């Protein structure tokens, strides 16, 4: 990050879940949203491993259900990290789909990109499979729907992929656009945070992030995530706008993983985020406040 200052985003923040409702040694964080559903990553900590599951909340019925990671659809593992994690959810062709990562979705036994969908009642994972994008490990892939196609936004490699099925019925990716920065957009290393939302015409917007590291003599650790609001023209393949850096409620490990735009009032934006990998929060803000600087 080249800036010497950072702003706090104007927002009304609250916790998504009372952590007292969780079983002992469980934490909820890194939420995402699509339509009437909110997902929270649930991690169960034991002396042997950390196993990830899904808490799905239906805003229309006000019901929440815990969904176990589909171990029968994954490879056997002795990895510390188990299950599927950090999902971004999206409604597509009448189903709730997701992109995420897993350390044991394939024989590589390293973070793979996974794509899947829930059953029609969103009570279990019906299908999941690893999908190649040519690199590994994979993080922060953000799904969205464009012109009736399921797509992925990859900020780190600055690519947009289409997801299709091959002749064997397997999910495959192809590069739809490689993004370039318009004149004046800083050349910073940025990573994906939220799925893009449609702003009108060819214009899409999302939250991205960069990382400040603490550099010690023998260890480099994450010190803070810094967020930006980013906009791009999908047909011309141009990043057209990058906001000044901001944080929301916590200076440190604050990670924005979900976004929801009110269809009746598109200026209203909800950001869903995790703090310290321990709790999930929601911030009510506006598109204008995301776009503004100082």
Average pLDDT, the chain: 94
* Neighbour count for residue 223 (Cβ, 10 Å): 14
Q: What share of the chain is helix, strand, coil (3-state, %, to 5)?
A: 5, 55, 40
Please choose, from the candidates 146, 161, 158, the residue with its C-alpha nearest in 3D space to the C-alpha of residue 230. Answer: 158
Please choose, from the candidates 128, 24, 136, 149, the residue with its C-alpha nearest in 3D space to the C-alpha of residue 70. Answer: 128
* Neighbour count for residue 27 (Cβ, 10 Å): 19
Please choose, from the candidates 87, 147, 127, the residue with its C-alpha nearest in 3D space to the C-alpha of residue 272. Answer: 87
> What pLDDT does residue 221 have?
84
Mean pLDDT, range 134-143, rounded to an integer: 91
Mean pLDDT, range 224-232, rounded to an integer: 97
- Residue 193: which pLDDT band, with cuts at 50, 70 and 90? very high
Look at residue 252 and give its three-state secondary structure: coil
Quick check: pTM over 0.85? yes
Residue 245 DSSP class: P
Percent of the chain with pLDDT over 90: 87
Q: Across the beta sheet with 125-130, what order do the strands follow? A: 84-92, 95-102, 112-118, 125-130
pLDDT over 50 (residue 16): yes
pLDDT over 70 (residue 195): yes
Beta pairing, strands 220-233 & 7-8: unpaired
Instruction: Give the chain's domains with CATH numbers.
Output: 7-291 (2.115.10.20)
Task: State the Cα–Cα distance between residues 133 and 103, nearest whole angstrom.
Answer: 16
> What pLDDT does residue 3 have?
55
pLDDT digits (tens, 9 = 90+) for 92-119: 999 999 999 999 999 998 899 999 999 9
Tokens of 30: 């890194």
Please choose, from the candidates 264, 235, 207, 34, the residue with its C-alpha nearest in 3D space to the C-alpha of residue 146. Answer: 235
pLDDT digits (tens, 9 = 90+) for 240-252: 999 999 999 999 9
């Amino acid at each position: 990050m080249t800036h010497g200052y950072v702003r706090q985003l104007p927002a009304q923040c609250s916790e998504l879940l009372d952590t007292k409702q969780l079983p002992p040694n469980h934490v909820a964080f890194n939420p995402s949203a699509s339509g009437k559903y909110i997902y929270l990553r649930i991690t169960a900590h034991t002396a042997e491993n950390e196993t990830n599951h899904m808490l799905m909340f239906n805003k229309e019925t006000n019901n929440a259900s815990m969904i176990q990671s589909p171990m029968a659809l994954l490879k056997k593992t002795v990895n510390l990290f188990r299950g599927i994690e950090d999902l971004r959810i999206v409604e597509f062709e009448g189903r709730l789909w997701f992109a995420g990562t897993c350390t044991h979705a394939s024989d590589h036994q390293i973070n793979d990109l996974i794509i899947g969908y829930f059953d029609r009642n969103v009570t279990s994972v019906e299908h999941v499979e690893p999908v190649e994008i040519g690199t590994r490990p994979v993080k922060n892939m953000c799904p969205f729907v464009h012109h009736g196609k399921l797509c992925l936004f990859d900020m780190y490699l600055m690519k947009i992929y289409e997801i299709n099925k091959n002749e064997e019925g397997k999910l495959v990716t192809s590069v739809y656009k490689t993004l370039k920065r318009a004149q004046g957009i800083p050349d910073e290393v940025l990573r994906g945070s939220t799925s893009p939302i449609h702003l009108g015409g060819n214009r899409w917007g999302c939250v991205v992030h960069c990382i400040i590291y603490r550099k010690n003599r023998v260890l480099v650790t994450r010190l803070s995530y810094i967020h930006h609001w980013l906009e791009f023209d999908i047909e011309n393949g141009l990043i057209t706008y990058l906001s000044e850096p901001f944080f929301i409620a916590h200076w440190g490990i604050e990670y924005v993983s979900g976004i929801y735009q009110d269809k009746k009032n598109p200026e209203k934006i909800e950001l869903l985020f995790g703090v310290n990998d321990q709790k999930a929060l929601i911030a009510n803000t506006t598109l204008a406040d995301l776009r503004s600087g100082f």
